[in-house]
Structure 1
Amino acid sequence: MKQFFLIFLSFSFLSACVTIRQDEVGYRRRFGKLREKTLNSGFYLINPFTTTMIKVPTRTTNLTVTADLPTKEGLTVKTEVTLLYRVQPNKIVSILKEIGKNYENNLVAPAFRSAIRDVSARFFAKDLHTAERATIEQTIAADLDKFLKDKGFVIEAVLLKSIKLPERLVEAIEAKLQAEQEAQRMQFVLEQEKLEAQRRIIEAQGTRDAQKILAEGLNPLVLQFQYIQAWRELAKSPNTKVIITDGQMPYMLNEEQNSVSPLITPKKK
C-alpha cells in the first residue's frame, strides 16, 4: 500500500510539471474554462486534477497534403503540396475558443485542400510543369490568406513539391519544349550566318578599296623611283650579274633558266 501511494505521488508530481519551449506559448484551462493569460517559455507547475496546459507553437508550421487535383481540361493530376503557415500571437486565444487546439485538422487542412483544388481547376495540366507553376503557388497562397488571415493565421508560402502528370501529356510537353529549343537553335545559327556574310562583305570591300588605292598610286614617277632603288641594290651586291636595260626598264639575265626577266614588274591598273 505504501509503495502504491509513493507511485501515485510520483505520477501526480510529474503530471504537474509542464515545460513550455521557446517556440511555444501556453494557456491554462481550469475546470474547462480557458484563462487568457499567456505563458511564455519556462517551467510551470499545475494541478493535474483541475487544470490542463494547452501549448500552441508560434514557429512556422509545415503542413503537407497529397491530393488528386482537377485541371482546366478535365484531367486529374496527382500532387504533393506543402503549406508553410504560423499563428498570430494576439489571435491564439480566439483560435482556441472558436476552433480548438486541434485547429490544423479542424480548419487549416480542409481550407488548404479546398484552395488547391479550386485554383488547379483554373489552369491547364501543362501549366503545372512549366513556369506557370510559380503563379499557381502564389494564387493558392493568396486565396488561402483571404480566408485564414482574419481567423488568426499567416500564410507564408505554398510549394508544389511533387507533380505526376499523365504519361502522354508529359511526352507531349517534352516534345513541344524540344521543338522550341530546336527553333531557338536554328534562329541562332541564322543570325551567325548573317553576321558572317556581313563580315565577308566588309572584308571584300576593304580589299577592293586597298587595291584601288594601290593602283592609283603606281604612277610613272613612283615606278621610276622603284627602278632607281633596284639599281642601287644591285650595285651593292657582290655577285656578278648581267643587266640589260633600255634606259627605262632594267632586265636581269638569268643564266640558270636561260631567260631574261624584269627586275620590277609593275602592277596593272
Structure 2
Amino acid sequence: MERLPRLTIPVIIGIVVLIIIIAKSSVTIKSGHVGVLYETFGKGVVTNKPPLGEGFHLIAPWNRVFIYEARQQELSDKMQVLSSNGLEIKLDASAWYQPVYSDVAKLHQEKGENYLQRVIMPAIRSAARSVVGRYTPEQLYSSKRDAIQDEIFEETKKILDKQYIQLNEVLVRDVTLPPTIKDAIERKLRQEQESLEYEFRLEKATKEAERQRIEAEGKARANSILSASITDNILKEKGIQATVELSKSENSKVIVIGSGKDGLPLILGNN
C-alpha cells in the first residue's frame, strides 16, 4: 500500500510527458492548406520532399510545420498612378492568386509567410504604374479598360512566375479620373456623338434625294420612250377598239353617224 503512491506519481508524470510528446509530434492540416516542414536539427526547411498535404501527420517533436493556404485568394488594392500626360489616376484593382503547391517550401524559405506584402503587392503596383503610364485619360476612361487589365495581368504574371506564386486573374474594378478631366472628356464624347448623329441624318437625306432623282430620271426616260412610240395610226386603232368594246355594253345605246375628228367614229346617245 505504501508503494502505490510512489509508483503512481512517476506513472502520472510519464503519461503527462507522453501526452506532451504526442501533441508536439502531431499536426493536422485543414482542407485547402499545405504544410512546410522545418527540421530543427536537420537542414531547416525541407525543400527536397513534397509538402505535407491535408490530414493528420506525425513529426519529430523538435520539428515545426508552417501552414499555408493553398486555395485561390484575393488581393484588393487601390492605387494612385500617373497617365501618359502626368495626370493622377486612381485605380481600384483585384488580383486572384495562390502559392504554387509543389514550391511552397521554397516560397517559405525565400519569401516568408508575409509574401503578400513582400512580393505580390509591389509586383501588381509596379505593373499598374507601367501600364497606365502608356495611356491618356481619354483612353483609360473609354475604350482601354479591358486592355490595361490584360496588360497588368501579363506584366504581374511575369514577375510572380519567378517567385513561386501563381497569378490567376487581375480585375480592374474602377478607374477614377480628376473631376475636371472627367467632365471635359464627357463633354467631348457628347459632342462627338452629336456630330456622328448629324452626319448620319445628313447622309440619310443625301441618299433619299439621290433616290428621288434616280426615280424621276427613270420616269422621264419611260415617258420619253412611250411618247416616241405612239403614232396617229396607233391612236386611231386604240380608239376603234374602245368604240367596239363600248358598243357591246348592254347598258349603252350607241348611234354612230359620220366620223369625228381624226377619222374616229362619233358616239351619241350613250346612257
Query: C-alpha displacement at 1:97, in angstroms?
Result: 0.9
Q: Secondary structure at the match of 1:216?
A: helix
Q: Secondary structure at the match of 1:38?
A: coil
Structure 2 partner of 1:240: 253
Query: C-alpha displacement at 1:65, in angstroms?
Result: 0.7
Counterparts in 2 of 1:1-269, with a 5 A limit?
Answer: 16-21=26-31, 23-31=32-40, 33-36=44-47, 37-39=49-51, 41-46=53-58, 49-238=61-250, 239-243=252-256, 245-246=259-260, 248-253=263-268
Q: Deviations along 1:168-196, whole A, 9 cap, x unmatched? A: 11111111111111122122222212221
Distance 1:148 1:192 in 2: 55
Q: Deviations along 1:195-249, whole A, 9 cap, x unmatched? A: 2122112211221122122212222332222122122122212322455523712
Distance 1:45 1:64, change over 3 A: same
Report the residue type matching 2:137 in the other structure. A
Query: C-alpha displacement at 1:9, in angstroms?
Result: 5.3
Query: C-alpha displacement at 1:13, in angstroms?
Result: 5.0
5+ residue gaps, structure 1, are 257-269
Q: Is the 1:79–1:163 Cα contact (8 Å) retained in structure 2?
A: yes
Distance 1:125 1:15 in 2: 59
Q: Secondary structure at the match of 2:91?
A: strand
Q: Is the 2:81–2:129 Cα contact (8 Å) retained in structure 1?
A: yes
Distance 2:93 2:116 in 1: 15
- Percent same amino acid at aligned positions? 26
Q: Is the 2:36–2:52 Cα contact (8 Å) retained in structure 1?
A: no
Distance 1:119 1:235, change over 3 A: closer
5+ residue gaps, structure 2, are 1-11
Report the residue type matching 1:70 in the other structure. L
Q: Is the 1:19–1:41 Cα contact (8 Å) retained in structure 2?
A: yes
Query: C-alpha displacement at 1:15, in angstroms?
Result: 9.2
TM-score normalised by L of structure 2: 0.77
Query: C-alpha displacement at 1:20, in angstroms?
Result: 4.0
Distance 1:159 1:17 in 2: 37
Q: How many residues align?
A: 252
Structure 2 partner of 1:263: none
- Structure 1, 89-98 or 246-255: larger mean CA deviation: 246-255
- Structure 1, 191-200 or 65-74: larger mean CA deviation: 65-74
